[in-house]
Amino acid sequence: MKIGLFFGTFNPIHVGHLIIANHMAQLQQLDQVWLVVTPHNPHKEKSTLLADHLRLDMVRDAIYDSPLLKASDIEFHLPKPNYTISTLTHLQEKYPQDEFSLLIGADNLRTFHKWYNWEQILAYHRLFVYPRIAEDEIDHEINPELLAHPNIEIVKDVPILGISASHIRARLAEGKDCSFLVTEPVAKYIAERGLYQK
The footprint of ligand ATP (CB under 6 A) covers 8-11, 16-17, 20, 104-105, 107-108, 130, 132, 161, 163-166
Q: Which is nearer to ligand ATP, 47 or 97 (CB)?
A: 47
Residue in 37, 114, 108 with CA at minimum distance from that of residue 78: 37
Q: How far is the CB of 68 from ligand ATP (least distance, A)?
A: 16
Per-position b or e across 40-50, b if 16+ CB within 10 A of its CB: beeeeeeeebb
For ligand ATP, give the closer residue by CB, 159 or 177: 159
Which CB atom, from 78 or from 161, has the smaller least distance to ligand ATP? 161
Give 5's strand partners. 34, 102
Question: Where on the phi/psi map is residue 117: left (φ > 0), alpha (ψ -120 to 50), or beta?
Answer: left
Nearest approach, Cβ of residue 96 and ligand ATP (Å): 26
Smallest separation, CB 189 to ligand ATP (Å): 16
How many separate helices (H) and strands (E) can be counted in the chain?
9, 6
C-beta of 31: minimal distance to ligand ATP in Å?
A: 20
Q: Which residue lies nearer to ligand ATP by CB, 93 or 157? A: 157
Query: Nearer to ligand ATP by C-beta: 126 or 132?
Result: 132
3-state secondary structure of 196: coil
Considering the complex, what minimum distance in angstroms separates the CB of residue 193 from ligand ATP? 18
By beta-carbon proximity to ligand ATP, the closer residue of 19 and 78 is 19
Give the integer Cα–Cα distance in Å for 18 and 20. Answer: 5
CA–CA gap between residue 130 and residue 91 (Å, rounded): 23
Distance in angstroms (rounded) separating the CA atoms of residues 64 and 80: 28
Residue of minimal Cβ distance to ligand ATP: 105
Q: Name the minimum Å distance from CB 170 to ligand ATP.
A: 9
Beta pairing partners, 7: 36
